[in-house]
């Protein structure tokens, strides 16, 4: 009964794929090669199992799968047959025939490992501090509470789950003085999506965006993707300098007032007021990216721009990536009423809505107070790492000055004037350190510096690697000045 074709099957107990999968693939290859006659029934599972020296369950499961996928069909009282209409498959391009039996070549190529942030990559929270077990319990509770509703499409809520938007409205009111109706809150899959959606909501090709320089690259990409051009705004030790060119006037101003990215400056109240005045005069939107506002170590928070705005032109942007964990992919916007419906329409085209189970869990996490507890815990831990970092920097006498050490997750270390920070960053890279140069974030020239993240790394890592930083930097600065001197002397001698 076992046909010649089937007798060619050989299964490998030690292969990566299960016997069932191997059998499926080989049967498909035989069927697709046309070696099996449609009129002839397949052997019973018992027979084939005996012949192949595998358990009968393996054959039953393989047959079941092939019936499910339409390769085989059962005929009453006659057994299993190759599906009659599979004669069509003779039209298959020749390159495909017989290939199904071979393993997927791609599974053999090495798979890249997931990334763990190398020191001192900026903007990385210590995800080991996150109370994952508690989060998972709240997730189970949310699933029970919402029942199957939470699994359905909720296309009525492209801006996110109402429960989460309410919890966030409470948090923003308590912590940042942002007063809004929950309907003004729009959940996004992170701050990058928020920026992208705002760009396409507010800008048209040729519009101008005033943006801190140096500033956040992801934002610049978003404005450019909408066809807008970026007008750099100077940043000094107090953050963005609120001087607008009136013509051509910008449609939008992007700023990180709580802690300027990447310099770390905090925008004083007077400048906040001036920024609001200017924007009102020019009818420009302000995007307040309240990046890093949760982590303040010495000073109380200044009121958010949103809380100071009386003309509804500030759009507040926040993210859970750094407060909870980055791969959660939840960010949010506080929109003026006039943009709420437009946002929903755009979101319906871009991706309908975000994943909802995580949103329901986060709502519970915030309203239970666990969110506040977690932020406090991170703050306590991060302020200690900050002090370890600064002590180590002092101890190893790194050639860096840190002007803003009162908050956030990153420290901008200024290099001696004239140093090539990109060159230094490359030298550090060869020591497996990821410390980007200030110039990477700048359109015009900026003070040379290096941006360190300190929050994701242990005290011992910080201490040990600061020595490597110090050595690499001294070496890089000397090497560079030699190269420059050499160039200069060649220039003088005309060589």
Write out the binding residues for its own copies, residues 90-129 only, by CB under 8 A: 91-93, 95-96, 99-100, 104-107, 109, 111-117, 124, 127-128
**Per CB under 8 A, which of residues 345..384 are in contact with its own copies?**
348-358, 369, 372, 375-376, 379
Peptide bond into 248 cis (omega under 30): yes
Q: Min. distance of Cβ 130 from its own copies in angstroms?
A: 7
Query: DSSP letter at 96?
Result: G
User: What number of chain residues touch its own copies (CB under 8 A)?
Assistant: 114
327 vs 460, which CB is nearer to its own copies?
327
| Bridge partners (DSSP) listed for residue 188 | 331
86 vs 435, which CB is nearer to its own copies?
86
Q: Min. distance of Cβ 38 from its own copies in angstroms?
A: 12
110 vs 495, which CB is nearer to its own copies?
110
Angle at CA 103, nearest 5°, toward 98 and 104?
A: 100
Out of 11, 38, 101, 130, name the contact with its own copies by CB under 8 A.
Answer: 130
Each residue 196-235 as x (binds its own copies by CB under 8 A) or -, in order, gives x---------------------x--xx--x----------
What CA–CA distance (Å, rounded) separates 320 from 136? 17
**Per CB under 8 A, which of residues 258..317 are in contact with its own copies?**
269, 273, 296, 299-303, 307-308, 310
Out of 78, 148, 338, 430, name the contact with its own copies by CB under 8 A.
Answer: 148
Q: Min. distance of Cβ 114 from its own copies in angstroms?
A: 4
Q: Contact at 8 Å (CB) between 473 and 142?
A: no
Q: Min. distance of Cβ 393 from its own copies in angstroms?
A: 25
Out of 37, 46, 75, 179, name the contact with its own copies by CB under 8 A.
Answer: 179
342 binds its own copies, rule: CB under 8 A? no
Each residue 64-83 as x (binds its own copies by CB under 8 A) or -, in order, gives xx--xxxx-x---------x
What CA–CA distance (Å, rounded) separates 255 from 263? 12
Q: Helix (H) and strand (E) counts for the chain?
A: 15, 12
Q: Contact at 8 Å (CB) between 214 and 263?
A: yes
**Per CB under 8 A, which of residues 1..20 are in contact with its own copies?**
18, 20
Query: DSSP letter at 76?
Result: T
The DSSP secondary structure of 254-305, one letter per residue, reads EE--SS-TTT-----HHHHHHHHHHHHHHT-EEEEE-TTTT-BSSSPPPPPH
Q: Contact at 8 Å (CB) between 298 and 407?
A: yes
What CA–CA distance (Å, rounded) separates 453 from 322? 12
208 vs 347, which CB is nearer to its own copies?
347
**Assigned token pair, 476:** 């890089």
**Per CB under 8 A, which of residues 405..464 are in contact with its own copies?**
none
94 vs 495, which CB is nearer to its own copies?
94
Q: Min. distance of Cβ 361 from its own copies in angstroms?
A: 11
- Entry field: residues in the chain: 495
Out of 89, 282, 370, 431, name the contact with its own copies by CB under 8 A.
Answer: 89
448 vs 453, which CB is nearer to its own copies?
453
What 3-state class would DSSP assign to 158? coil
| Phi, psi (rounded to 5 degrees) for 154 | -130, 60
Determine if residue 200 is left, alpha or beta; phi over 0 gives left, psi from -120 to 50 gives alpha, anything else beta: alpha
22 vs 425, which CB is nearer to its own copies?
22
């Amino acid at each position: 009964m076992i046909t010649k074709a089937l007798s060619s099957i050989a299964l490998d107990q030690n292969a990566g794929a299960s016997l069932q999968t191997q059998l499926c693939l080989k049967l498909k290859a035989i069927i697709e090669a046309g070696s099996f006659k449609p009129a002839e029934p397949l052997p019973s599972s018992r027979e084939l199992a005996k012949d192949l020296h595998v358990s009968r369950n393996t054959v039953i499961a393989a047959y079941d799968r092939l019936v499910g996928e339409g390769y085989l069909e059962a005929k009453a009282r006659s057994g299993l047959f190759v599906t009659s209409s599979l004669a069509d498959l003779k039209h298959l391009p020749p390159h495909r025939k017989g290939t199904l039996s071979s393993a997927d070549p791609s599974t053999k190529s090495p798979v890249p490992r997931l990334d763990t942030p190398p020191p001192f990559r900026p903007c990385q929270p210590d995800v080991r501090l996150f109370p994952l077990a508690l989060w998972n319990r709240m997730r189970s509770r949310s699933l029970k509470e919402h029942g199957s509703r939470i699994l359905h499409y909720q296309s009525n809520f492209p801006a996110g789950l109402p429960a989460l938007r309410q919890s966030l409205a409470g948090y923003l009111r308590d912590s940042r003085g942002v007063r809004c109706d929950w309907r003004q809150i729009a959940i996004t899959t992170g701050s990058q999506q928020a920026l992208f959606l705002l760009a396409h909501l507010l800008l048209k090709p040729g519009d101008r965006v005033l943006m801190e320089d140096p500033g956040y690259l992801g934002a610049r990409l978003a404005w450019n993707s909408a066809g807008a051009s970026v007008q750099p705004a100077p940043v000094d030790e107090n953050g963005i300098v609120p001087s607008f060119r009136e013509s051509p006037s910008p449609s939008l101003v992007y700023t990180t007032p709580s802690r300027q990215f990447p310099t770390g400056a905090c925008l004083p109240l007077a400048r906040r007021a001036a920024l609001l005045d200017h924007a009102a005069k020019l009818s420009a939107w302000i995007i307040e990216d309240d990046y890093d506002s949760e982590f303040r170590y010495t000073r109380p928070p200044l009121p958010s721009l949103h809380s100071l705005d009386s003309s509804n032109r500030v759009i507040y942007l926040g993210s859970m990536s750094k407060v909870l964990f980055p791969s959660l992919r939840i960010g949010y916007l506080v929109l003026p009423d006039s943009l709420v419906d437009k946002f929903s329409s755009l979101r319906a085209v871009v991706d309908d809505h975000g994943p909802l189970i995580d949103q329901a869990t986060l709502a519970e996490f915030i309203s239970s107070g666990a969110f506040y507890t977690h932020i406090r815990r991170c703050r306590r831990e991060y302020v200690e790492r900050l002090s370890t970092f600064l002590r180590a920097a002092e101890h190893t006498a790194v050639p860096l000055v840190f002007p803003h050490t009162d908050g956030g997750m990153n420290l901008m270390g200024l290099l001696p004037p004239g140093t090539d920070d990109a060159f230094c960053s490359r030298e550090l890279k060869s020591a497996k350190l990821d410390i980007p140069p200030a110039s990477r974030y700048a359109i015009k020239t900026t003070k040379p510096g290096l941006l360190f993240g300190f929050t994701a790394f242990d005290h011992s890592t910080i201490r040990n690697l600061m020595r490597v930083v110090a050595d690499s930097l001294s070496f890089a600065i000397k090497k560079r000045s030699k190269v420059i001197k050499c160039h200069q002397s060649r220039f003088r001698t005309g060589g």
